[in-house]
Each structure stands twice: as C-alpha cells, then as structure tokens.
Structure 1
Amino acid sequence: MDIVGTITRLPTLFFGASPCDDSFADRLSYKYTVLMLALFAILVTSKQFGTKHIQCWVPAQFTKNYEEYVNDICWVSNTYYIPLEQKVPTLEHERRQNELRYYQWIPFILILQAFGFYFPHIVWRSLSRRSGIDVRDIVDAAIHYKSVDVATQDDKHKNELMEYIVEAIDKYVDDPRRQVEERRQSISLKYVLLTICICLGKYLGNYLIIVYFTTKALFIANAVCQIFLLNLFLGQEFHLFGIQVLKRILQGRGWDTQSRYFPKVTLCDFQIREALHLNGSHRYTVQCVLPLNLFSQQIFTFIWFWYMMVFIVSIFDVIAWVTRFFPSKQYNYIKRRLQLMKRDTEFNNYPPEFVKRYYMEFIFGYLEPDGVLMLRLLSSNTSDFVCTEVINQLWQRFYKRDPKRTKRNRKPESNSEQVAQERKQQIAKTAETHDSIRCRSLKATSIPTQTNNGHDVLIRSRKSSFQPRVEDNV
C-alpha cells in the first residue's frame, strides 16, 4: 500500500478535486489545517470511547460497581491538578483554581478550531462571487487549457477555453457600470468610504483585491486568536507552551512527563449521599489517571508549532502579495510577459514615453488591480505560460478596441536625422505658403489705369520702380 500517496490524496478525498483561486498559504490554513484538526478530533474521540478514558484509585472497601461509579463521576465532573511535592489545599476554592475543564471537550474544541480556520475561506468565496466573476471557474478553465495543451493538442477546445477566460476577464475589467469618476480621484472621502465598505465598492476596480487581502488578514488573526483561545479552554497560558517545550529540550531535560498543562495524575472530589440520612453524606478525595492526556499533550504540542508555522507563512505571504501590487511591480510584470510574446513590436518606431504611457493605460486604466490579481492567481495556480497567453489576448483586445484613438495618439519619431528632415520639410512648406500668400496679395493690389485710346495698362506696385511704364503711342 502506498502510504505516502494516500496521505497526499487525503485533501482530495475530503475537499474534492476542485480548483483553487487562492495561494498556498491560504490553502495551508483552510484546507490542510482543517484536515489535520479533523483527524485529531477523530483520533481523540476513538480513544475516549474505545479505551478507559480515566482510572481512579478507590478505597479497598469499594466494590467493582463502586469503582465504575467513581470513574464515571470523576470523568463527568472536572478533576484538578496538584503537584506531588505540594500539599493538597483544604479549602475547595483553592483546589478549583487548578481545575481541568477541557479533557471531556477536546474533540469539540478541535472541531471548533477547524471551523475557525475554514471561516475566512467562506468569506472569500461568498464575497468574491458578488463581484460578478467567479475566479475559481476561470482557474478551472485555465487548468483544462493547460492539460489540453499537454495531452491532446486539441486546438479547437483550447481556443474555446482561452476565449472563455479572456471574455470573462474582459467583461469584468471593462464593465460599463464601473465608477470611473470615483476611480480617477486619487484621494477623496467618497472613494475611501466605498473602498472600506466592500458591499458598495464593487465597481471601483479594487473590489477583489480588497476582499482578498481582508481574507488574508482574517487568516493571520485566526492563527493568533486560536492560540490565545486555548488559554481559555485549557485554563493555562498555552501561548507559552511551545516556548517552554523548546526550553526544556535545549536544557537537556527531555520531555515534560509531568506537564501542568496536560497532567496525567489528578485528584477528584465527590460525595456519596446516604439514602436514609438526607443531611449526611460522605466526601471522598481520590487520585485518578488520565491516559487521554498522554495523547492530548502530543497533539497540542504539534498544534502549537503548526499554528506558529501557519502564522509565519501567512505573514510572509501577505508581504509577498503586497509587494506584487506596487505600481512598478505591476508594470514590469505585464510588460515582461508582453515582451516574451513579442506583442509590443508595433511600438518599435515610437518614443519610449509613448510606449510607457500606453502600457500604463493598459495596466492601470484597463486591467486595474482586480485584473492583475486574477492574472496573478492564474499564474500561481496553473502556470506562467497560461497567464502570459491570457495577457497577450487581453492586450490584443485592448489594442484593437479604439484604433482611431491609437493612431491619433501616435507620433512616430525614429531618430534625430528623421526629425531634422521633417523639420526642414515643414520649414520649406511654410516658406512656400508664405510666397503663395504674398503673390496673391500682389495680384490683389494691382491698380488699373486708362490711356487716351482707352487701353488698360496694369501698373504693378513692386516692379514699377525697376521697369518703365509702357504706354501706347499717340
């Protein structure tokens, strides 16, 4: 039996083979942590009902039925822990200060923690769908596109999948309902309020990314709160538990078998009423063994270090995603993939300022943060090749959407010689224009004169000073 293969397939067995629309750090919280806690809950439950969960020492005069009764009543009521080197307090409230209230509820605690780790994913799935686009469907189509590309080379099916992906993203990022005026305002109270209130800011171009980072914040807060909530459940400072374990190991003292967090030997107080004497009862204090705490200590030790790992991974993941959405990072990410597909060759003869302005219009005016987020999720969950192809198709749609505007904005300028030549031609055309205007003005100012025999003679104002005036002989 392939044990390793079975373990790797466990998430698929529990959660199905559905595609992911998030990062590995998110799946570490809502998928693998939930699976781990569910398995621990099953293990603890089997131990509670499969073996003796508690065994108490009873006086010799107790019969077997009395012994079973003591075990049951000490399991139902909470026991308390007093170290062996300390004297048992006589006051009841001092005993109850060290009471153990958790061992009956460990399976329920683990299930509750599993729900806490899964809750942020529910928030992401429910709020992301309200945007008008299902990112999971797009990722699913991209995964099928990648598998078709590798396995069957079915070009028709590939084209249909790519058309679906590009069409869905294009309709979302170019939705006519998007609030253009609010988006163009860099800092305004209305823009901030719409961004904070997720339900109202669906058409600002940053709805998905706000929901995504809110979900990541919930994952981080959940990992921290889970550790401190165990302080309440266990009645101890559980947030220091892992540090104390490491300290003991580094000091060479080994494993803490007498842990005050999960004691194996506890005390139990109970009373036996006399049926015929209502005011009389016998009080007993017995010593009990909790074999279940042997497993609980190992489980919660692993949980403490696992939560720390989830917290650290989530922090680094948030930092990585925040840096990816710096404007320079977005610009370089899209530009590099367009250059890989050689789709920017149309701008070879144009100045860098125009090319950069056109790129920025595509990234920050067309895609916006939500579009870049979807492309990043496609890249992290499928492959960078699929993401590059999607960027290429979106670029073609954006490039061909308004060709007149594109041609009007273009100003070719290849080199300095061409610029100088164009300037000379412009100066020559200007000079010719001035000459033609001057000639027309000269014709317009000509003076008609009548001689004796009635012939008209034109006297030109500019040339009259250099040529004699011609007159008919009388």
Structure 2
Amino acid sequence: MDIVGTITRLPTLFFGASPCDDSFADRLSYKYTVLMLALFAILVTSKQFGTKHIQCWVPAQFTKNYEEYVNDICWVSNTYYIPLEQKVPTLEHERRQNELRYYQWIPFILILQAFGFYFPHIVWRSLSRRSGIDVRDIVDAAIHYKSVDVATQDDKHKNELMEYIVEAIDKYVDDPRRQVEERRQSISLKYVLLTICICLGKYLGNYLIIVYFTTKALFIANAVCQIFLLNLFLGQEFHLFGIQVLKRILQGRGWDTQSRYFPKVTLCDFQIREALHLNGSHRYTVQCVLPLNLFSQQIFTFIWFWYMMVFIVSIFDVIAWVTRFFPSKQYNYIKRRLQLMKRDTEFNNYPPEFVKRYYMEFIFGYLEPDGVLMLRLLSSNTSDFVCTEVINQLWQRFYKRDPKRTKRNRKPESNSEQVAQERKQQIAKTAETHDSIRCRSLKATSIPNQTNNGHDVLIRSRKSSFQPRVEDNV
C-alpha cells in the first residue's frame, strides 16, 4: 500500500480536486492545517470513547460499581494537578487554581481551530466573487488549456479556452465603470475611502488585490491568535510550550513525562451521599491517571511547531507578494513576457521611449493591479507558459483597439535628438521651397515679354505669307 501517495491525496479526498486561486502559503493554512486538525480531532475522539480515558485509584472497600462511578465522576468533573513533591492544599480554592478544564473538550477545541484556519478562505472566496469575475474559474480554464496542449493537441478546444480566459479578463479590466481617466486627474477623499472599504470599491482597479492581502493578513493573525487562545483553553502559558520543549531537548533531558501542561497523574475530589450517615455525605480525594494526556501532549507539541511554521511561511509569502507589486516589478514582469513572443515587429521598431510609455499604459492603465494579480495567480497555479500566452493575447487586444493612436503618439514620444534633427530637416526643406518659389517668380516676370514679341513676329510672318496665296487664288 502506497502510504505516501495516500497521504498526499487526502486533501483531494476532503476538499475535492478543485483548482486553486491562491498561493501555497494560503493552502497551507486553509487546506493542510484544517485537514491535520480534523484528523487529530477524529483520533482523540476515538481514544476517548474507545479506551479507558481515565483510571482512578479508589479505596479498598469500593466495589467495581463504585470504581466505575468514581472514574465517570472524575472525568465529568475537572481534576486538578499538584506535583508529587508538594503537599496537597487543604483549602478547596487553592486546589482549583490548578484545575484541568480542557481534556474533555479537546476534540471540540481542534474543530474550532480548524474553522478558524478555514475562515479567511471563506472571506476570500465570498469577496472576490463580488468583483464580477471568478478567479478560480479562470484558473480552471487555464489548467484545462494546459492539459489539452500536452495531451490531445486539440487546437479548436484550446483556442476556445484561451478566448474565454482572455475575454473574461479583458471585460473585467476594461470595465467602463472603472473611470480610469477621472481617477488619474485627482485622488479624492472618496477614492481613498472606497479603497479602504473593500466592500464598496469594486471599480477602482485594486479591489481584488486589497481583498487578497486582507485575506493574507487574516491568515497571519489567525496563526498568532490560535497559539494565544490555547492559553485560555488549556489554562497554561501555551505560547511558551514549544520553547520549553526545545530547551529540554537541547539540555539532553529528553521528553517531559511530568509536564504541567499535560499532567498524567491528577487528583479528584468528590462527595458521596449516604442516607444513614450523620453528616449526610462522605468527601473523598483520589488519585487518577489520564492516559489521554500522553497522546494530547504529543498532538499539541506538533501543533505548536506547525503553527510556528505556518506563521513564518505566511510572513515570507506576504513579503514576496508585496515586492511583486512594486511598479518596477510589475513592469519588468509583463515586459519580459511580451518580449518573449515578439509578434508585433512593427511596434518593436518604434523608439524605446515610446515603447516604454506604451507598455506602462498597458500595465498601469489597462491591466492595473487587479489584472496583474490574476496573471500572477495564473502563473503560480498553472504554468508560466500559459500566463505568457494570456498576456500576449491581452496585449494584442489592447494594441489593436486604437491603431491610429500609436502613429499619432510615436513622434512626440521620440527622443530629443531625433526631434531636433527632424526640425532641422524641416527648416532646410522650408528654406529650399522659399528659394524655389522666389526663382520661379523672377522667371515669370521676364517670360511674358519674350512671348509677346515672338507672337507678334509669328503673326506678321503668317500675314505676309498668307496674303499672296489669297491673291493668287483670287
């Protein structure tokens, strides 16, 4: 039996094979951590009801029924922990200061923690759908596009999938309700408030990215709060538990079998009423063993280090995503993938300053942060090849939408030397045209006199030659 393969397929069995629209750090919290806590809850529940969860030492006069009753009453009522080297306090409130209140509720605590880790994902899914685009659906289409490209080479189906992806992103980023030009002119208080309130600012070009980083902040806050909430549930300083375990290991003392966090030997106080007794009841203090705490100590030790790992991975993931959305990072990321294809050779022949300005218009004016976020998620959840193809398809749409704009803006965006050279050439051509016009005007003043004199001579010659012929004919 393939144990490793079965373990790796467990998230698919619990959550299905649905595509992901997030990063690995997010899945580490809402998928793998939730699965781990659910499995621990099932194991603890089976231990509680499948074996003897508590065993108390009772006086010799107690019968078997009395012993079972003591075990049940000490399990239902809370036991308390006093170290063996210390004397048991006589006052009840001193005893209750070290009371253990958690061992009956461990399965419910684990389930509650699992929901806490899954809650940020619910926030991401519900708020991202309000944007008007389903990022998971686009990732699913990109995964199918990749599988078609590898397996069947069905070009028609592949083109339909690519058309669907590009059409969905284009409609979202080019929504007329975004009012890009108005937002560029001035940043008003309304714009700032709508950006902060993620429930309202859906058409500002940064709605998805704000929701995404809010979700990541919830994942980090949840990992920290879970550790400190266990202080309340366990009644101990659980946030220091892992540090103390590491100290014992480094000092060579090994595993702490007498841990005050999860004591195995506890005390229990209970009373038994007797009708014929003068005082009406007997008070007993018995010593009990909690085998379940040995298992609980191992579980929560693993949970402490797992939470620390989730917290560290989430922190580094947030730092990585923040750096990806620096303007220079966005520009270089899109530019490299546009230059990989090199389809538009005419555009590549334009001056560098104009090309850069047009790239910036495509990235910061057309895609905006939401569009770049969707492309990043496509790249991380499918492949960089699919993302590059989508970027180039979006570029073709953006570039062909107004082809005359390129020719109009090309000259003003050229460098200063080219502009100066063109002006010199224009001035030289203007001077030449003025000189040619002046020469033509001077020639025009002299040509009419010559023409008139020649015309008179021609008339006189024609008359002299014509008249004799007429007279001869007559």
TM-score normalised by length of structure 2: 0.90
Moved more, 328-337 or 345-354: 345-354
Cα deviation digits, residues 98-150 of structure 1 (max 9, x gap)? 00000000000000000000000000000000000000000000000000000
Structure with greater helix percent: 2
- How much does 1:350 deviate? 2.2
1:458 deviates by: 23
Query: Which 10-residue stretch deviates more, 265-274 or 458-467?
Result: 458-467
Q: How has the CA–CA distance of structure 1 residues 415 and 245 changed in structure 2, closer, same or farther, with 3 Å as cutoff?
A: closer
**Could you say if the C-alpha distance between residues 288 and 439 of structure 1 is closer, same or farther in structure 2, counting changes exceeding 3 Å?**
same
2:354 counterpart SS class: helix
Partner SS, residue 144 of structure 1: helix
Moved more, 187-196 or 226-235: 187-196
Cα deviation 1:274-313 (Å, max 9, x = unaligned): 2356952110000000000010000000000000000000
Unaligned runs of 5+ in 2: none
Q: Please say which of residues 427-436 and 72-81 is displaced more in the overlay.
A: 427-436
* Counterpart Cα distance in 1 of 2:116 and 2:461: 100
Residues 467 and 179 of structure 1, relative CA distance in 2, 3 Å threshold: farther
Aligned to 2:68: 68
Give 1:406 deviation, angstroms.
1.7
- Contact map agreement 1:29 1:219 (CA 8 A) in 2: yes
Q: Secondary structure at the match of 1:466?
A: helix
Q: Do the aligned partners of 2:124 and 2:215 also contact (CA within 8 Å) in 1?
A: yes
State whether residues 350 and 413 of structure 1, in contact with CA within 8 Å, keep that contact through their aligned partners in structure 2: no
Decide whether the 8 Å contact of 1:446 with 1:460 is kept in 2: no
Q: Deviations for 1:316-345, whole angstroms, at most 9, x for unmatched residues?
A: 000000000000000000000111111453
Change (3 A) 1:430 1:245: same
2:354/2:413 contact within 8 Å kept: no
Once structures 1 and 2 are overlaid, which stretch shifts more, 459-468 or 8-17?
A: 459-468
* Structure 1 residue ranges without an equivalent (≥5): none
CA–CA distance in structure 1, aligned partners of residues 96 and 465 of structure 2: 129
CA contact (8 A) 1:25 1:313 kept: yes
Shift of 1:389: 0.4
Q: 1:471 to 1:443 in 2, by over 3 A?
A: farther
- Measured at CA, do residues 15 and 431 of structure 1 come closer, stay the same or move farther in structure 2, by a change above 3 Å? same
Distance between the aligned counterparts of 1:110 and 1:222, measured in 2? 14
Shift, 1:187, TM fit: 4.6
Per-residue displacement from partner, 1:364-407 (whole Å, max 9, x unpaired)?
Answer: 00000000000000000000000000001000000001111122
2:117 and 2:222 in contact (8 A); partners too: yes
Tell me, in whole angstroms, the C-alpha distance in 2 between the residues paired with 1:61 and 1:471. Answer: 178
Deviation at 1:87, TM superposition (A): 0.5
Q: 2:161 corresponds to which residue? A: 161
Cα shift at 1:151: 0.4
2:32 & 2:462 partners in 1: Cα distance?
Answer: 98
| Partner of residue 372, structure 1 | 372
Inter-CA distance 413–76: structure 2 relative to 1 (3 Å threshold): closer
Q: Judge conservation of contact 1:448–1:458 (CA < 8 Å) in 2.
A: no
Please identify, of 189-198 and 354-363, the stretch whose mean Cα deviation from structure 2 is larger: 189-198
Q: CA deviation at 1:434?
A: 3.3
CA deviation after TM superposition for structure 1 residue 183, in Å: 3.1
Cα distance change, pair 62–454 in 1 and its aligned pair in 2 (3 A): closer
Question: Per the alignment, do residues 423 and 288 of structure 1 end up closer, same or farther by CA in structure 2, a change over 3 Å counting?
Answer: same
Deviates more, 1:452-461 or 1:23-32: 452-461
CA distance in 1, matches of 2:102, 2:433: 98
Q: Is the CA contact (8 Å cut-off) linking 1:74 and 1:268 kept in structure 2?
A: yes
Give 1:192 deviation, angstroms.
Answer: 1.5
CA contact (8 A) 1:182 1:190 kept: no
Shift of 1:256: 0.1
CA contact (8 A) 1:182 1:191 kept: no
Indicate the larger mover: 424-433 or 214-223.
424-433
Query: Conserved in 2, the CA contact under 8 Å of 1:362 and 1:395?
Result: yes
User: What secondary structure, in the 3-state scheme, does the structure 1 residue paired with 2:58 have?
Assistant: coil
1:139-170 CA distances to partner (integer Å, 9 max, x unpaired)?
A: 00000000000000000000000000000000
Q: Which moved more, 1:437-446 or 1:190-199?
A: 437-446
Q: How many residues end up aligned between the 2 structures?
A: 474
Contact 2:173/2:370 (<8 A) preserved = yes
Distance 1:195 1:50, change over 3 A: same
* Aligned residue in 1 for 2:398: 398
Q: Is the 8 A contact 1:446 1:459 kept in 2?
A: no
- The worse-fitting range, judged by mean Cα deviation, of 375-384 and 432-441 is 432-441
After superposition, give the CA deviation of every residue in 1:170-200 in whole Å (9 maximum; x if it has no partner).
Answer: 0000001113256325754222111011111
CA displacement at 1:430 relative to structure 2: 1.0
In 1, the alpha carbon distance for the partners of 2:255 and 2:172 equals 57
Between 268-277 and 452-461, report the one with greater CA deviation: 452-461
Q: Which residue of 2 aligns with 1:302?
A: 302
Aligned to 2:341: 341
C-alpha distance in 2 between matches for 1:463 and 1:280: 167
Asked if the contact 1:79–1:266 (Cα under 8 Å) also holds between the matched residues in 2, the reply is yes
Output one character per residue of 1:405-433: Cα deviation in whole Å (capped at 9) or x when no partner: 12211129999998787555422331244
